[in-house]
């Protein structure tokens, strides 16, 4: 036997993966064909335990509802022919029978011509009666008679047997989700238990040496296992019964044992994650040993979600989700939820869609259908769809998005101003009460906390000061946080305002150079001297900020035309700058004092910048805007800002 070197084997596996990239539609079609049709396991449940379950079969009514003709009002049961001429000026006198019919009372006496019987709402209509006259249209006429002052037509105020539900009628159809209304219908027919689809038992395994479960101590280079918790919850939300089996390290023997045990006990297996050691390759090899037909699709022309692996092992679906949270959750909801719901006997998910304008250009990758998470805000002429822009590794991209839009595989971009169709994650559009677009600051959360506690929703989209100004000019937000220095006037923010915008003073925050304590290249120096020293050391790496950020403008002023190592590393937040320095990925950068101090880093003050708000004047009178302005000026917010290291204006 010819032995294949392990390096060649690995190369062949990788080549196989990337030579068989399928379109989203083809991958779904292959997966469905390998799994369905299949019987849905059922179980009997009592009504009290059936809420939220899916009916496994049609239910027909075993009785009529109501089971007898009954009165809809309090009054008297009559023969309509006896009172056809009755009126206020010409009452008809009837003899009262010696019984009153209440709910649960079986009538004993017939209503003969010229007679009537007192009846309560819900009481069974007595023999001989064909109508009911409301008590308000009658008048006692002695101890055993009554005057009727309103004519009655046949069937008046009578619900006939089976008028609500007829015996043999299809009461509920298979796949119907049992809610409180359905339980009421079943109870009305005397049905005590129903056959429902048994929830598919879904085993969930996270993979990776770097994963730590929430609540445990996080070591350097480790991350908390978010996918395990998210996927488990998403399975329960969509008709499954999730069983989380923990995180398995990148060990082929341990992973295979865990996968085999999971498939022995569960109806479906979902894995997620992996590291540079190749956990995805391990799973790929293991699946081939777990049963036929094995892998159906490994690699989908989808963004996010290209690494998705779909397999069927002896009739049980096995799914390997991408490791990044947004990729994992999008591919799960888009491609796995339809399969899971079908296995659970649930109807297909119905997604609401709206049209919205995309205000910025969105670059895309040719050859891959891209789904972009977006946040919706109200613009001058309708809804505006802002891309969340945090990447497939961001947990909040999926959680905070309102929906997603699709960029075709043949397009390399979606131009600004495009009218796009947005698929919502919820049945209805959740337009926030207050929209803030611009530069983000941790102090902003301290102010908007009061609005959140008052029940107002706030949407904050971080696009930088210049991006916020552009959004404010287009009328896409209420406020744009900015901190832009003008060289000519040597003032902050005011020179950047245009007609329709007004300045609301916010707070002052100290910008400066951040470095690790003990670094002799920076300790004891001023900001300008520290940067000059860094530029003379080729081994000294900086971390920059994104274009359009006010901090970037300050950095470029300090650097002049210099472009040192790390210049093109451009994170979008102060926290990311501090993290890069604290984790030794960079030696210096620029951030604000509260962030530097929170990270335990050295800080060299440079300039106190003005973090203010460009307010769209036309929106000034909106209740949420007024609430924000009140909160900004409140003693509570000012005290919180000062405690955090800011100086209120």
| 202-212 average pLDDT score | 89
Q: How far apart are CA 162 and CA 502, in angstroms?
A: 68
- Between 376 and 279, where is the model more confident? 376
Using the Cα atoms of residue 207, residue 210, residue 214 and residue 215 in order, give the sign of their dihedral. Answer: positive
* pLDDT at site 4: 37
Strands (E), 358-398: 362-363, 369-379, 382-387
229 CB-contact burial (10 Å; exposed 0-12 / middle 13-18 / buried 19+): middle
d(CA 479, CA 471): 9
SS3 for 77-104, per residue? EECHHHHCCCECCECEEEEEEEEEECCC
* pLDDT tens string 303-331: 877 888 899 999 999 999 988 887 888 88
For residue 557, the Cα-to-chain-centroid distance in whole angstroms is 42
Reading the block at residue 253, the tokens are 């023997």
Nearest in space to 181 (alpha carbons), one of 344, 87, 50: 50
Residue 9 is predicted with a pLDDT of: 43
Q: Hey, what are 580's tokens?
A: 């890069």
Query: Nearest CA to 59 among 44, 69, 40?
Result: 44
Q: At 488, is the secondary structure helix, strand, or coil?
A: coil
Residue holding tokens 């399975």? 235
Share of the chain above pLDDT 70, in %: 94
Q: What is the mean pLDDT of the chain?
A: 89
pLDDT, tens only, 385-408: 988 764 444 455 566 788 889 898
Distance CA 442, CA 595 (A): 8
Cα–Cα distance between 313 and 339 in angstroms, integer?
15
pLDDT at 346 over 70: yes
Determine how β-strand 647-648 pairs with β-strand 138-140: unpaired
SS3 for 208-220, per residue?
A: CCCEECCCCCCCC
Does position 11 have pLDDT exceeding 50, yes or no? no
Is the pTM higher than 0.75? no
Report residue 120's pLDDT band, with 50, 70 and 90 as the boundaries.
very high
Using one digit for the tens of pLDDT, what is the confidence trace for 132-165? 999 999 999 988 999 999 999 999 999 999 999 9
Q: Do the Cβ atoms of 317 and 339 come closer than 8 Å?
A: yes
The whole-angstrom separation of Cα 486 and Cα 497 is 11
Q: What angle do CA 615, 621, 625 make, to 5 degrees?
A: 55
Residue 331: predicted pLDDT: 87
Helix (H) or strand (E) holding 265: helix 252-265
The pLDDT score that the predictor gives to residue 2 is 35
Element (H, E) at 638: helix 635-643
User: 439, 482 in Cβ contact below 8 A?
Assistant: yes
pLDDT digits (tens, 9 = 90+) for 469-481: 999 998 889 999 9
pLDDT per residue as tens digits for the range 29-45: 999 999 999 999 999 99
* pLDDT tens, residue by residue, 417-447: 999 999 888 888 878 899 999 988 889 999 9
Name residue 147's beta-bridge partners: 93, 139
What residue ranges in 253-308 does DSSP mark as E strands?
A: 268-273, 293-298, 302-303
Q: For residue 399, what pLDDT is reported?
A: 63
Strand, coil or helix: 272: strand
DSSP 105: P
Tell which residue, 188, 474, 491, has the closest CA to residue 482. 491
Element (H, E) at 292: none
pLDDT of amino acid 395: 53
Residue 66 has pLDDT above 80, yes or no: yes
How confident is the model at residue 389, as a pLDDT? 60
Provide the 3-class DSSP secondary structure of residue 297.
strand
DSSP 107-155: P-S---TTEEEEE-TTPBPPTT--EEEEGGGEEE-SSSEEEE-S---TT
Q: Residue 281: pLDDT above 80? A: no
């Amino acid at each position: 036997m010819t032995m294949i070197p392990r390096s060649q084997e690995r190369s062949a596996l990788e080549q196989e993966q990337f030579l068989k990239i399928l379109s989203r539609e083809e991958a779904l079609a292959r997966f469905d064909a390998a799994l369905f049709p299949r019987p849905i396991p059922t179980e009997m449940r009592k009504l009290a335990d059936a809420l939220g379950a899916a009916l496994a079969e049609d239910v027909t009514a075993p009785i009529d509802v109501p089971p007898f003709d009954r009165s809809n009002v309090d009054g008297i049961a009559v023969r309509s022919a006896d009172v056809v001429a009755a009126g206020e000026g010409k009452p008809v006198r009837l003899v009262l029978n010696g019984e009153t019919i209440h709910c649960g009372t079986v009538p004993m006496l017939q209503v003969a011509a010229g007679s009537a019987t007192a009846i309560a709402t819900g009481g069974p209509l007595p023999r001989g009666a064909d109508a009911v006259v409301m008590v308000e249209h009658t008048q006692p006429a002695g101890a055993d008679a009554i005057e009727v002052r309103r004519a009655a037509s046949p069937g008046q105020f009578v619900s006939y047997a089976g008028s609500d539900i007829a015996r043999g009628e299809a009461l509920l159809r298979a796949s119907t989700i049992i809610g409180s209304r359905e339980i009421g219908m079943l109870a009305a027919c005397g049905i005590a238990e129903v056959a429902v689809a048994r929830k598919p038992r879904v085993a969930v395994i996270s993979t990776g040496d770097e994963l730590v479960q929430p609540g445990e101590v996080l070591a350097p280079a480790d991350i908390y296992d978010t996918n395990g918790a998210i996927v488990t919850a998403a399975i329960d939300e969509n008709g499954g019964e999730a069983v989380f089996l923990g995180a398995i390290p990148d060990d082929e023997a341990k992973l295979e044992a865990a996968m085999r045990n999971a498939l022995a006990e569960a109806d479906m297996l979902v894995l997620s994650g992996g590291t540079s050691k190749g956990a995805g390759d391990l799973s790929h090899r293991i699946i081939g040993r777990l049963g036929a037909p094995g892998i159906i699709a490994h690699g989908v022309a989808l963004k996010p979600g290209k690494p998705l692996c779909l397999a069927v092992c002896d009739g049980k679906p096995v799914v390997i989700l991408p490791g990044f949270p947004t990729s994992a959750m999008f591919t799960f909801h888009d491609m796995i939820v339809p399969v899971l719901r079908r296995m659970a006997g649930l109807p297909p998910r119905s997604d609401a869609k709206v049209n919205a304008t995309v205000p910025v250009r969105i670059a895309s990758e040719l050859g891959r259908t891209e789904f972009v998470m977006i946040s919706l805000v109200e613009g001058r002429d309708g809804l505006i769809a802002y891309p969340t822009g945090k990447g497939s590794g961001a947990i909040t991209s999926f959680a905070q998005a309102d929906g997603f839009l699709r960029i075709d595989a043949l397009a390399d971009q979606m131009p600004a101003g495009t009218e796009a169709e947005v698929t919502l994650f919820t049945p209805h559009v959740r337009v926030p009460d207050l929209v803030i677009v611009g530069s983000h600051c941790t102090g902003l959360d301290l102010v908007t906390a009061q609005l959140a506690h008052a029940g107002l929703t706030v949407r904050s989209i971080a696009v930088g000061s210049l991006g916020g100004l552009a959004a404010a000019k287009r009328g896409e937000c209420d406020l744009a946080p900015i901190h832009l220095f003008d060289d000519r006037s040597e003032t902050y923010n005011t020179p950047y305002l245009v007609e329709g915008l007004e300045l609301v003073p916010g707070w002052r925050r100290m910008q400066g150079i951040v470095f690790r304590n003990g670094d002799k290249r920076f300790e004891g120096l001023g900001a300008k001297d520290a940067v000059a020293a860094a530029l003379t050391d080729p081994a000294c790496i900086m971390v920059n900020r994104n274009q359009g950020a006010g901090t970037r403008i300050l950095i470029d002023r300090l650097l002049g035309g210099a472009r040192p190592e790390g210049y093109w590393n451009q994170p979008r937040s102060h926290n990311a700058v501090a993290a890069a320095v604290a984790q030794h990925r960079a030696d210096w950068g620029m951030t604000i004092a509260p962030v530097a101090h929170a990270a335990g880093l050295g800080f060299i003050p440079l300039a106190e910048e003005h973090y203010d708000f460009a307010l769209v004047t036309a929106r000034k009178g909106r209740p949420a805007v007024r609430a924000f302005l009140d909160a900004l000026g409140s003693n509570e917010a000012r005290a919180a800002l000062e405690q955090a290291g800011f100086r209120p204006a």
